[in-house]
Amino acid sequence: MKTELTGMNPAELTDWCKDQGLPGFRGKQIFQWIHRGVDFDGMSNLPASLRENLKEEAIAQPVSIRTTRVSALDGTVKFLFALLDGNCVEGVLMRYHHGCTLCISTQVGCRMGCAFCASTLEGCVRNLTAGEMLGEILCANRFLVESGEPDTKVHNVVLMGSGEPLDNYDETVRFLRLLREPEGVNLSLRGVSLSTCGLVDRMNRFAEEGLPVTLSVSLHAPNDGIRKKLMPVANRWPIDQVLAASRNYVEKTGRRVIFEYALVDGVNADPAQAVELASRLRHLQCHVNLIPLNDVPERGLKGVSEAQVKRFLDTLTEHRISATRRREMGDDIEGACGQLRRREINRTSETEDHDD
């Protein structure tokens, strides 16, 4: 079985090279090439014989781009990333005035079962490795270069694609530490947001890691009764415990928490529910990100009107809760999480059935 090198830090790559009978300095060279998105054939300061040997023993780039869709509306790019085992995950590259943000996946599918999310419909196939998560960023950076933007790179990262990052805890933390390696991608973790559906024990553990990322908590309800209808995790972790873990994260990191709130027609979008939400969030250093739901036909859930969004937002603001409506991007390219992967799965299934 080949060794995936993408998830190793410089010290680990140096040790690996020594174990292979190579000079330790080769580890730093390989690390730098990997983080530029280069495979072994392109590592020009390595002897040709060594590059051939490395191809036999190891993997430098575990992720490639299978499908790319570019929005004609705002330039958002939706990627379907191919993994070496045949699985695929999604990523979304969004352009803002301050730079490019990439939304990445942390698992193939998801086992959290949230009613409004297409990523969870087939369950969780497996966790991604830290190297595969990093590989999504390297693919996006290569895409930008090949698109004629050699000076543009991914500037911010959000772990909000398919999967629950804290359900894949160890690999997610390793990935975050790799992100800030000076000889690598070298991103500030203050430009990273991690989304969780509210795994309280993992939230508290993550607060101790010393990683200054922004925690985005998928709340989506003002009380446990509504939350249990939308999110099975609410049966394990009541909303009061989720909010207590959020307060702990603020205290330990000094970073405000973002609460994601998908507005679902007839479920959680009434102004009275905004008042209840505001009462729970009072005195907590936070911001509410309102998300008009993308319809999920498989679950019978529908989004809300702009008027409903405005009423909910105005109510929160009146109660002195910081809140905004999330900017929608990539609507014409199935920008919402899980849609493109699900279409690919269905297409492949239909092809196989036809072949039979």
Rounded distance between C-alpha atoms, residue 335 and residue 106, angstroms: 17
Question: Are 277 and 316 within 8 A, CB to CB?
Answer: yes
Instruction: Tell me which of 103, 117, 286, 337 is the catalytic residue.
Output: 337
Rounded distance between C-alpha atoms, residue 105 and residue 268, angstroms: 27
H helix intervals, the chain: 10-19, 25-34, 48-57, 130-146, 169-179, 200-206, 224-230, 239-253, 271-281, 306-318, 339-355
Nearby residues of 354 by Cβ (< 8 Å), 6 or more positions away: none
Rounded distance between C-alpha atoms, residue 328 and residue 311, angstroms: 18
Does residue 124 carry a catalytic annotation? Answer: no
For residue 311, give the 3-state DSSP assignment.
helix
AA letter at 305: S
Distances (CA, A) of 72 to 69, 80, 329: 9, 18, 11
Of 225, 218, 222, 181, nearest in space to 203 by CA: 218
Rounded distance between C-alpha atoms, residue 195 and residue 217, angstroms: 6
Does residue 164 carry a catalytic annotation? Answer: no
Rounded distance between C-alpha atoms, residue 60 and residue 93, angstroms: 22
Residue with token string 């024990």: 201
Rounded distance between C-alpha atoms, residue 279 and residue 46, angstroms: 61
Of 218, 184, 219, 128, nearest in space to 10 by CA: 184
Q: b/e per residue, 103-113, with b = 16+ CB within 10 A?
A: bbbbbbbbebe
Instruction: Tell me which of 90, 132, 136, 260 is the catalytic residue.
Output: 90
What the block records as the tokens of 327 is: 């900017």
Q: Which active-site residues does the annotation give? A: 90, 337
